[in-house]
């Protein structure tokens, strides 16, 4: 056997062995090994219990985003959650904010990556509705490419939106007292699961964080699919 043939055999063995090794790493007595995403927000111990491998474990009540209603750019009332099978990504923005343009370009890249995935829904909530009229918002959104209905731009009453951002999405949004034309807020993309729990906050001006979001969406999809197969 010459050296070239020996190398070819080694490569073939490696190609055959790697899938099996990965399968071994991902299995633990028939269960996938993966680290689920964190669940953000206040939580408390419930009075109920569940059992895992014979051990009694107290259930945990996690923060969930409550039902709310805003309007889209056509004036239609949009209620969240509109479908309990959707994973959602949210951000908060306004048109006079330069950094929000960068933020929504990154949002656009995530929308584009998951354009054909029916499990994903995207929302951008306007935080300057007194200035950002529906006509201004319609002109603003024409610069973005996305499938109809996949990425929904929402607006509504300013006070209600600020309470929603702080109380439900756990992110800072408030009018700058020194510069009334400015809204102080955190540039975040927020990942929400099908149970309306926050599973991740991502710096919307940082490409590495956006790449992390794209990867963690895949983890969350796997988590949701596993729940279905475990039923």
List Cβ<8 Å contacts ≥24 apart for 116-120: 117/221, 119/85, 119/86, 119/87, 119/221, 119/224, 120/86, 120/87, 120/88, 120/89, 120/150, 120/217
Residue position matching structure tokens 């209905």: 149
Q: Which residues are annotated as a binding site for Cu cation?
A: 97, 100, 185
The Cα 196–Cα 190 span in angstroms is 11
- 3-state secondary structure at position 230: helix
User: Would you list which residues are annotated within the binding site?
Assistant: 97, 100, 185
Whether the upstream peptide bond of residue 20 has omega within 30° of 0, thus cis, is no
Determine which helix (DSSP H) or strand (DSSP E) holds 97, and give its type and residue range. Answer: none
> Helices (DSSP H) in 72-195: which residue ranges?
98-113, 134-141, 158-167
Instruction: Supply 159's token pair.
Output: 């006070």
């Amino acid at each position: 056997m010459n050296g070239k043939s020996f190398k070819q055999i080694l490569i073939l063995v490696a190609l055959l062995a790697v899938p099996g090794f990965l399968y071994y790493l991902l299995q633990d007595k028939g269960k996938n090994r993966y680290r689920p995403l964190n669940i953000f927000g206040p939580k408390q111990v419930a009075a109920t219990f569940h059992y895992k491998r014979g051990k009694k474990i107290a259930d945990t009540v996690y923060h969930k985003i409550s039902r709310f209603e805003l309007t889209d750019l056509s004036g239609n009332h949009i209620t969240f959650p509109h479908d309990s099978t959707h994973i959602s990504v949210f951000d908060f923005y306004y048109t006079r904010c330069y950094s929000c343009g960068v933020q929504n370009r990154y949002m656009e890249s995530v929308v584009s990556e998951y354009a054909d995935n029916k499990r994903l829904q995207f929302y951008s909530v306007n935080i300057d509705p007194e200035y950002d009229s529906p006509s201004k918002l319609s002109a603003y959104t024409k610069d973005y490419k996305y499938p109809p209905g996949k990425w929904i731009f929402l607006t509504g009453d300013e006070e209600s939106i600020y309470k929603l951002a702080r109380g439900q999405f756990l992110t800072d949004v408030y009018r700058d007292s020194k510069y009334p034309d400015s809204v102080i807020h955190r540039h975040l993309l927020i990942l929400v699961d099908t149970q309306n729990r926050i599973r991740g906050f991502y710096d919307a001006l940082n490409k590495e964080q956006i790449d992390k979001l794209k990867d963690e969406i895949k983890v969350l999809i796997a988590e949701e699919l596993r729940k279905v197969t475990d039923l």
